[in-house]
Structure 1
Amino acid sequence: MSDFTSNFWSVYVAALTVIGIVACLVLLWMAGRKKVISTSDNTTGHVWDEDLVEMNNPLPRWWVWLFVITVVFGLAYLAAYPGLGAFAGKLGWSQQAAYDAEVAKAKAELEPLYARFASMKPEDLARDPQAMAIGERLYMNNCAQCHGSDARGSKGFPNLTDKDWLHGGAPEKIRETLEKGRVGNMPPMAAAVGTPEDVRNVAHYVLSLSGSPHDSLRASLGKPKFAACAACHGADGKGMTAMGAPNLTDDIWLHGWGEAAIAAIVTNGKVNEMPAQAEKLTEAQIGVLTSYVWGLSNKAGAAR
C-alpha cells in the first residue's frame, strides 16, 4: 500500500515541470526581443580586467533551435508518458507493465529449462549442477537477506545448513514453507509458569535439557513448572514439528541462549514470520529453490 494519502506531490511535481517548460519559452522569447544598445564597435560597453569586453552578438541560430527542440521534446514526452499527475500518457506506458513484460519474456526463455527440472525429483535436482547454479541465484536474490549468504542464519533467522528444522526438513515440507510462508508464535507463558522466580527456574531446566551450563538446583525446581511448556515442546523437550515447536535438547538457540534470553521469551513470547514466496516465484523456481535449500543440510545425499 502506498504511503501517500493524497495526490498533492504528483500535482506539485507536475506543476513545477509545466512551469519550468513555460518559463524556458518565456525566457527565450524575452531574450530574442531585448535589444542591447551597443557602441559603434558592436560592444555593450562592459569591460572586465581592463581589456576584456562583451560583444553584442545574438545567440547562434542553431543554439536557439536546439533550445526550442528541447522544449518541444519535453512537451511531447509529457503527452506520451506519465508525468502530469494522474494522467497516464497517450501511449499507456507504466513501470509495472514494463516490469511484467520483462518478467514474462524471461519466463518464456527459461520455460524449456524449467520443464526439464519439473520432471526430476528434488533429490535428483540437488545433484544437477545447472539446477543448483540457478538455485543459488534464487537463494541469493530472495533468501540471503535473512538467512545470510552462507545460509547459516543469525539470531532470529534459522540456520539452513544444519539438521534442525522446526517444521521438518523433507523436500515437501521445505516447499510448503517456501510457498505459504510460516508464522511462528510462542505465546507469553509467565502467567502459566508462575512467579518470576519460577520463570528463572524453568529457564535453567530448559538449559539442562541440552547440557548447557545451568544451576542444577534451579533446574530441579523448574522441572515441575515445565509442564506448562510440554503441551508444545513435549514432556521430553524434543519439540513437535507438527506445531513448529523447537527441540530444546539439541543446544541450538534461535533467539539466543542463557537464563536471561530464555526467561525473556517465556515472559514476553516471540513471533517470527517467514514470508510466502508463491507470489514472487513460479512453481518451477520454487521447485529448484526447494532442492537447493534441501541440499544445504543434506550434502552427502546431494553429492551421491
Structure 2
Amino acid sequence: MTTAWNWYVIILVLFNLLGVTWLLWWTAKRRPGDPKPEDTSHYWDGDITEYNKPMPRWWINGFYIAIVFAFGYLFWYGGFGTYQGFGKWSSQGEHDRQAAVANARLEQTFAPYKGLAIDALARDPQALKLGKSIFANTCATCHGSSAKGAVGYPDLTDDIWHWGGAPEQILHTVVQGREGVMPPWGKVLQGMGGPDAVDYVIAYVHQLGEPAGGNRNDYAAARGKTLYEGVCVACHGKDGKGDAKVGAPDLTDGYWLYGDGREALRVTIGDGRHGVMPAWGKILGDTRSRLVAAYVWSLSHQAKPGAQTQQ
C-alpha cells in the first residue's frame, strides 16, 4: 500500500469514528426553545401523542463506550492503514499459528505410517481410509470422487499407467508430478505425406489396436505405417506399446486419454497435447503422499497379505 492510500485509510477511519461521536453528541443535546419532552402538540386519533423525549443516558453512554472500544481495538489490532497495532496481530500470523496446531495434530495421526512402503500401506484399512480422505481433498477435483477420471485426466481404477503402475512409480507421480507432452506433428506429417497425412496415421494407429493388426490391405493405414515409423516410433515404439519412462501411452490397449474419435485424434496428432500432473510432495509431505499413493495403487491392485513390499 502506497503512502497516499495509507493516509487515505487512516483519515477515512478517523472521520467515521469522530463523525459518529459528534453526531451522537449533537443529536442528544437539548437547545433553548426546544419543546418539553411531553409537549409537541402532535396528536393523532385523539389519543396518540408524539413526544420529544431524549434517549436514556445509559443508552447514549453505551454508544460512547462502543466508540472508545473501537479506538482501542484499532490501536491494539491495527486498522489505521498499514499500522500493525500494539498487539502485532495479523491474519497471516493467526493462520500460521492455527495451521501449526492443526499440522501437529495431523502428524500424530500420520506418525504410525511414516516411511512405510506403498503396498504395505495398501493392506492397512485405516491407512486406506486416510488415503481416501486425502484423495478426496486434493485429487478428486481432476480425477473425480470415484477416481474414474475424465477427458484429459486418467482413470486411476484400471491397470493402464502411462508412467508406470508400480508402487514407487505412483509415489513418484504424486510427490514430484508428471508432465506429458505430445508435440504437434501436423505440419511435419503433411510435409512428409500430403494434406491427408494425419488421417493416414490415425488409420494406422486404429489398426494397431485391432486383433491381428486389422486389415493389412487398408491403403490409408499402410501409408500411415510409413509415416508412423518416421515420426512416432521414437516415443511409442515400433509396436505402439509406448514407453513409461517418458509417459508415452500404449496405442494398442484401447484406452485414449483424450478420446479415440477422428476429430480428437486430429487434435492430438496435429496440434499436440500438454498434460500436467502437479507435484504434491511439498504440500502433502512424505507420509500423506504415501497414504494417497497407497489408496490410488489399491484401486487397481489387490494387496495380498504377506506379500513382499517394495521400499
TM-score by length of 1: 0.87
- Report how far residue 208 of structure 1 moved: 2.0
1:211-230 equivalences under 5 Å are 211=210, 216-227=218-229, 228-230=231-233
Partner of 2:61: 65
Contact 1:78 1:84 in 2 (8 A): yes
Partner of 2:245: 242
TM-align CA RMSD: 2.7
Matched, 1:137 2:133: yes
SS at match of 1:253: coil
1:196-275 equivalences under 5 Å are 196-211=195-210, 216-227=218-229, 228-275=231-278
| AA in 1 matched with 2:251 | L
1:62-101 equivalences under 5 Å are 62-101=58-97
- Report how far residue 202 of structure 1 moved: 0.8
Contact 1:210 1:251 in 2 (8 A): yes
If you compute each CA radius of gyration, which structure gives the higher value, 1 or 2?
2
Contact 1:36 1:56 in 2 (8 A): no
SS at match of 1:74: helix
Partner of 1:282: 285
Number of residue equivalences = 298
Q: Per chain length, whose mean CA-contact separation is higher, i.e. which structure has more relative contact order (CA < 8 Å, sep 6+)?
A: 2
1:6-155 equivalences under 5 Å are 16-35=12-31, 37-39=33-35, 42-47=38-43, 51-155=47-151
| Deviation sequence 1:140-161 (CA, Å, 0-9, x none) | 1111111100011111111111
Q: 2:173 aligns with which of 177, 184, 189?
A: 177
SS at match of 2:281: coil
- 5+ long unaligned stretches in structure 1: none
Contact 1:39 1:45 in 2 (8 A): no
- Report how far residue 34 of structure 1 moved: 4.6
- Report how far residue 224 of structure 1 moved: 0.9
| AA in 1 matched with 2:262 | E
For 2:110 and 2:37, how far apart are their aligned partners in 1?
Answer: 78
Contact 1:209 1:249 in 2 (8 A): yes
Percent pairwise identity: 38
- Report how far residue 235 of structure 1 moved: 1.2
For 1:254 and 1:6, how far apart are their aligned partners in 2?
Answer: 49
SS at match of 1:291: helix
TM-score by length of 2: 0.85
Between stretches 7-16 and 277-286, larger displacement belongs to 7-16
- Report how far residue 257 of structure 1 moved: 1.6
- 5+ long unaligned stretches in structure 2: 307-311
- Report how far residue 271 of structure 1 moved: 1.0
For 1:158 and 1:168, how far apart are their aligned partners in 2?
Answer: 13
For 2:102 and 2:62, how far apart are their aligned partners in 1?
Answer: 40
For 2:199 and 2:32, how far apart are their aligned partners in 1?
Answer: 90
1:155-194 equivalences under 5 Å are 155-194=151-190
The 1:32/1:210 distance shift into structure 2, 3 A limit, reads: same
SS at match of 1:43: coil
- Report how far residue 192 of structure 1 moved: 2.2
Contact 1:127 1:303 in 2 (8 A): yes
Contact 2:37 2:53 in 1 (8 A): no
For 1:59 and 1:211, how far apart are their aligned partners in 2?
Answer: 89
Contact 2:171 2:290 in 1 (8 A): yes
